[in-house]
């Protein structure tokens, strides 16, 4: 029926299961779409538009069988910072540019790069984002809805503390009712959408018992229009593109990371295998189209994807149904959403932040008291106190530095005289001076200096056998140090023999011309062969003398 492998063996029964799963996910997505949009500093309906448009495109064109796309909590601090600094119109431009970047990443097959992201960096920025989201909802929880929007954690906390005297007790009661409902529903009635139940119950209580005492979506934003969004291309200029390039890259990187992580979760739960590059292309197209209708950046949503699988989804049809369900609710019931108190939205996002915090993994890495713990803390601290981009770059930078230090220490150099090598079958004659140097580990810029200093005391007119069986990698710096070794041997009248050269180092030396300069007869696959050659060379002058 379908050429797409994600629809393999699709039947009417599969369609029925997809419809049911899609409706359930749609119910779960509704309050999250509103909450994420408000927390990102934009109107609530923009979250619904994102769920409808991006969710549809990601399911249709993506590379995962069960992926559910839409606005997510991970984007909240990043998008809020862009809105506060540059404005909503600029967010649309940055989102479109991020879509272009994601599409190019997929086209150039960069999807597998997710596997190279250090785990401490991922945990650090995820936990940092969770802290920012949670702290950002404290004001709404307390009824402080007129606070100045700040793009950094410290300024946000300062603004909150300065306005604590204006706390609204009715907002606190409403928020507590919603929070308790979510907790009870999640624990005792896990099949019910806790966030939606909490919003409905707290809204009813606020409306019936203290009407007009708490701020609602309607009183703050003027309600949610029950109509399809109009098409509009943001006013783009070259100057604006340059100004928003870094935010766009940040959106693309975060969106790519989260979508592929979500796809991996879906693979583990659904016993499938996603196509990383196709997923990035689908995400990219979705983020190019969504801003044209007022939507905010979107990515794969791990919690909604897991809900999709748990409710029996069979194919991407469930994701399409989830988008159509949200569209139906927008067109038919949008005015009812205007009655939702903003303080009811706070516990929804606080609960999301708590679940995404990776707190157990965070503590586990901290207990290791290793370099990973340092990377984790740096990423977390920079993410919370500065921004996500600096957090990720700082974490990756420290990871690279620690890796280089670790690999440089991993280089083992063991010099020994041939006659002292117990495992050798060929013994050195008393007239030959053969020195064997075993090198183990990568020979690169971090370890090259150590390698060179270890062979500084090489005597004149001696045969040096460099055993490189356990050297998996040789970079340009390693090749330069190798060149200095060849020069040193030439000046001192030494003979250099190489044994056990692996493919990658061999290719580096061949491209640099060292195989030809040294002589192919000086390269051996086995150490024994190199020592036998050294013995034969030592015997030649002896035979000539006789």
| Under 8 Å between Cβ of 466 and 496 | yes
Measured distance CA(79)–CA(410) in Å, rounded: 42
CA angle 67, 69, 71 (to 5 degrees): 150
**DSSP H or E segment with residue 497:** strand 495-499
pTM of the model: 0.80
Q: How many CB atoms lie within 10 A of CB 174?
A: 32
What average pLDDT does this structure show over 55-81?
94
Mean pLDDT computed over 316-323: 96
Average confidence (pLDDT) over 156-163: 92
Computed over every residue of the chain, the mean pLDDT equals: 88
Q: Using alpha carbons, list the distances in angstroms from residue 164 to 145, 169, 341, 436.
A: 12, 11, 19, 74
In terms of Cα–Cα distance, which of 69, 122, 389, 39 is closest to 245?
389
Cross-strand bridge partners of residue 51:
none
Q: Could you say which DSSP state residue 110 is in?
A: -
Q: Which two three-digit tokens encode residue 258?
A: 């989260």
pLDDT at 4 over 80: no
User: pLDDT tens for residues 106-149?
Assistant: 999 988 777 678 889 989 988 999 999 999 999 999 999 888 87
Q: What is the pLDDT of residue 545?
A: 47
Helix (H) or strand (E) holding 152: none
pLDDT of residue 1: 38
Nearest CA to 92 out of 205, 221, 234 is that of 234
pLDDT tens for residues 227-281?
888 898 888 899 999 999 999 999 999 999 999 989 988 998 888 889 999 999 9
In tens, the pLDDT along 330-359 reads 998 888 888 999 999 999 999 999 988 889
Query: How are strands ordered across the β-sheet holding 523-524?
Result: 412-417, 434-440, 463-470, 495-499, 523-524
Q: Which two tokens stand for residue 272?
A: 């499938």
Q: Which of 121-130, 278-287, 405-414, 498-507 has the lowest mean pLDDT?
A: 405-414
Left if phi > 0, otherwise alpha if psi is -120 to 50, otherwise beta: which for 30?
Answer: alpha
Residue 109, CA distances (Å) to 105, 242, 246, 317, 423 in order: 6, 25, 22, 26, 47
Q: Which ranges in 113-216 belong to alpha helices (H)? A: 119-136, 138-141, 153-162, 169-188, 194-209
SS3 content of the chain, % helix, strand, coil (to 5): 70, 5, 25
Going along the chain from its start, the domains and CATH numbers come out as 12-401 (no CATH), 411-545 (3.30.750.24)
Query: Nearest-CA neighbor of 232 among 46, 57, 82, 69?
Result: 46
- Of 1-5, 109-113, 189-193, 486-490, the one with minimum mean pLDDT is 1-5
Say whether pLDDT at 408 is over 90.
Answer: no
Percentage of the chain exceeding pLDDT 70:
94
Rg (CA), the chain: 31
According to the model, what pLDDT value does residue 3 have?
A: 56
Count Cβ atoms within 10 A of the Cβ of residue 135 and give its class: 0-12 exposed, 13-18 middle, 19 or more buried: middle
Is the CB of residue 332 less than 8 Å from the CB of residue 226? Answer: yes
User: What is the Cα–Cα distance from 429 to 456, expressed in whole angstroms?
Assistant: 24
Indicate the Cα dihedral angle 325, 328, 330, 333, nearest 10°: -110
Closest listed residue to residue 250, CA positions, set 117, 97, 113: 97
Model pLDDT, residue 2: 42
Residue of 98, 226, 177 lying closest to 347 (CA atoms): 177
pLDDT of residue 112: 78
User: Can you give the pLDDT at residue 358?
Assistant: 87
DSSP string, 391-405: HHHHHHHHHHHHHHH
pLDDT of residue 7: 76
Looking only at the bridges linking them, the beta strands covering 299-300 and 69-70 are: antiparallel
Measured between alpha carbons, how far is 534 from 512 in angstroms, rounded to an integer? Answer: 25
Q: Confidence band (pLDDT; 50, 70, 90) for 546?
A: very low
pLDDT band for position 216 (cuts 50, 70, 90): very high
What is d(CA 327, CA 299) in angstroms, rounded to the nearest whole number? 18
H/E stretch holding 416 reads strand 412-417
Q: Can you give the three-state secondary structure of 421-437, one letter per residue?
A: CCCCCCCCCCCCCEEEE
- Per-residue pLDDT band for 370 (boundaries 50, 70, 90) equals confident
User: How remote is the C-alpha of 485 from its chain's centroid?
Assistant: 42
pLDDT at residue 433 greater than cutoff 90? no
Coil, strand, or helix at residue 49?
A: helix
Q: Are 140 and 345 in contact (CB under 8 A)?
A: yes
Half-sphere exposure (CA, 13 Å, Cβ side) for 486?
Answer: 17
Joined together, the tokens standing for residue 38 give 């408000």
Q: How confident is the model at residue 422 (pLDDT cuts 50, 70, 90)?
A: very low
| Helix spans in 62-116 (H) | 76-86, 88-107
- DSSP secondary structure of 267-322: HHHHT----HHHHHHHHHHHHHHGGGGTPPP-EE-HHHHHHHHHTT--STHHHHHH
- Residue pair 265/302 in contact by the 8 Å Cβ criterion: yes
């Amino acid at each position: 029926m379908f050429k797409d492998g994600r629809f393999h063996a699709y039947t009417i029964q599969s369609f029925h299961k997809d419809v049911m799963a899609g409706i359930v996910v749609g119910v779960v997505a509704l309050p999250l779409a509103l909450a994420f949009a408000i927390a990102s500093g934009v109107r609530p309906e923009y979250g619904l538009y994102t769920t409808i448009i991006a969710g549809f495109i990601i399911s249709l064109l993506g590379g995962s069988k069960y992926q559910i796309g839409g606005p997510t909590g991970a984007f909240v601090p990043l998008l809020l910072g862009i809105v506060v600094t540059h404005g909503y119109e600029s967010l649309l431009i940055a989102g479109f540019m991020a879509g272009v970047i994601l599409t190019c990443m997929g086209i150039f097959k960069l999807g597998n790069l997710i596997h190279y992201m250090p785990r401490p960096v991922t945990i650090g920025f995820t936990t940092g984002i969770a802290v920012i989201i949670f702290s950002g909802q404290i004001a709404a929880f307390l009824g402080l809805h007129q606070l100045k929007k700040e793009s950094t954690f410290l300024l946000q906390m300062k603004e909150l503390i300065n306005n604590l005297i204006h706390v609204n007790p009715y907002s606190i009661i409403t928020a507590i009712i919603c929070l308790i409902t979510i907790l009870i529903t999640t624990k005792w009635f896990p099949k019910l959408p806790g966030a939606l139940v909490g919003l409905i119950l707290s809204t009813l209580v606020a409306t019936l018992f203290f009407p007009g005492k708490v701020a609602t979506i309607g009183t703050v934003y003027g309600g949610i229009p029950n109509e399809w969004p109009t098409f509009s291309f943001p006013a783009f200029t070259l100057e604006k593109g340059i100004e928003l390039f870094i935010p766009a890259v940040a959106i693309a990187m975060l969106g790519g990371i989260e979508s592929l992580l979500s796809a991996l979760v879906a693979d583990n739960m659904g016993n499938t295998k996603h196509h990383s590059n196709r997923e990035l292309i689908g995400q990219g197209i979705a983020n190019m189209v969504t801003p044209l209708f007022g939507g905010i950046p979107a990515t794969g949503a791990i919690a909604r994807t897991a809900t999709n699988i748990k409710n029996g989804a069979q194919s991407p049809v469930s994701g399409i149904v989830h988008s159509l369900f949200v569209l139906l609710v927008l067109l038919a019931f949008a005015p009812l959403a205007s009655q939702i108190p903003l303080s009811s939205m706070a516990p929804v996002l606080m609960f999301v932040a708590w679940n995404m915090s990776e707190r157990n993994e965070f503590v586990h890495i901290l207990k290791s008291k290793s370099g990973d713990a340092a990377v984790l803390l740096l990423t977390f601290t920079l993410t919370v106190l500065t921004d996500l981009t600096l957090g990720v770059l700082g974490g990756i930078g420290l990871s690279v530095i620690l890796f280089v230090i670790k690999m440089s220490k991993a280089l083992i150099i063991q010099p020994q005289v041939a006659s002292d090598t117990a495992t050798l079958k060929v013994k050195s004659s008393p007239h030959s001076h053969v020195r064997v140097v075993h090198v183990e580990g990568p020979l690169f810029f971090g370890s090259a200096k150590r390698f060179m200093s270890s062979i500084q005391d090489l005597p004149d007119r001696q045969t040096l056998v460099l055993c490189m069986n356990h050297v998996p990698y040789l970079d340009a710096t390693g090749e330069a140090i190798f060149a200095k070794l060849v020069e040193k041997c030439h000046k001192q009248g030494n003979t250099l023999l190489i044994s056990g050269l692996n493919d990658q180092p061999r290719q580096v030396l061949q491209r640099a011309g060292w195989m030809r300069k040294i002589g192919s007869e000086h390269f051996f696959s086995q150490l024994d062969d190199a020592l036998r050659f050294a013995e034969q060379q030592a015997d030649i002058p002896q035979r000539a003398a006789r």
